[in-house]
Amino acid sequence: MSTLENKFACLGNLPTLPLLLMDALDQLNGKQDLNILVEKISQDPSMVVRLLRIANSPFYGMPREIGSLREAVVLLGFKRIRDIFVSICFSTILVVPDNGFNFRQLWHHCLAVAECTGQLANLSGQDPDFAFTAGLLHDIGILVIAVLFPEEFSLIVSNSTTPLIETERRFLGFDHLEIGSKAAQHWNLPVAIQDAIAQHLTPPQTGDCISLGTLVYSANLLIVKADDSEKLADDLAIYTALRLLDISIKDAQYCCQRGLQFASQIITL
């Protein structure tokens, strides 16, 4: 077995996904009964409280207070409740070392990209369910590296003057895209999500078909450059991606804003 294969073998040390989270992810393939999943979530009072606090946040602007999980499902829709639930779960399953790295900021970015990816998918006629989850997990490889290779991760963080991908490859022999995709495979997530994680920094080419990777790439770029939104129309990479998706700059900015607002609500609550 090669050294790289040895390193990937340690993916077996990752925590298994909670059964309830696996049930929620199975919804991507339409395998579960929605009512059963709602019943299962209802058995975790702390999770219900978090979901209700988010559902009642200003982000959703409900005309009245939502008092139960079933009511939240009726008003927000099961898919939105599932997205929030998956977001909360994934933010807690990987316990990372305290080495000064701002994991809260990283998770805020992932949540923003998730919502933005889902919004872009809606506008381009793609599946928003896969899109949201792929966006949420696009940088999961960074967390996996922090958990499985803490010493190397500290070195990577301390060498922030060079691009992250280059630094990861120098210290590990692979990057967070590759191991993130492998982790998704280890967790038996859909192949489309595995591929999107691996491709989320690969610019689309003119004439390419719309893919989940293109959606995540576009959302990630929009969120990264959100502070410079006035120059988005002049950004060639964003222009090329949005042209492929047939989405205007104005609509893309809206998707970006929704992503940032959603992330702030989840992180705050």
Measure Cα distances from 15 to 23, 45, 95, 183 in Å: 16, 23, 9, 11
pLDDT band at 25 (very low <50, low <70, confident <90, very high): confident
Per-residue b/e over 27-54, b at no fewer than 16 CB within 10 Å? bbeeebeeeebbeebeeeeebbebbbeb
Contact 175, 165 (CB under 8 A): yes
What does the pLDDT look like over 170-220, one tens digit per residue?
999 999 999 999 999 999 999 999 999 999 999 887 777 889 999 999 999
- Contacts for 254 with CB less than 8 Å, ≥ 6 apart: 119
| CA nearest neighbour of 257 among 225, 216, 211 | 225
pLDDT the model gives residue 176 = 96
Closest CA to 202 of 159, 248, 240: 240
Q: What are the strands, taking DSSP E only, across 149-269? A: none
The model carries a pTM of: 0.91
| Gap between the Cα atoms of 37 and 47, Å rounded | 13
Question: 98-269, what's its fold?
Answer: Hypothetical protein af1432 (1.10.3210)
Domain ranges of the chain: 17-93, 98-269
Buried b (16+ CB within 10 A) or exposed e, 103-134: beebbbbbbbbbbbbbbbbebbebebbbbbbb
Average pLDDT over residues 30-44: 79
Angle ∠(107,30,28) on CA atoms, nearest 5: 20
- Separation CA 140–CA 112 (nearest Å): 14
**Position 1 pLDDT exceeds 60:** no
Task: Check pLDDT > 80 for residue 43.
Answer: yes
Q: Which residues contact 79 (CB under 8 A, 6 or more apart)?
A: 27, 128, 129
Q: How many CB atoms lie within 10 A of CB 226?
A: 16
Mean pLDDT of the chain: 88
What 3-state DSSP class applies to 42? helix
Burial 196-218 (b: 16+ CB within 10 A, else e): bbbbbbeebeeeeebbbbbbbbb
Classify residue 18 by its DSSP letter: P
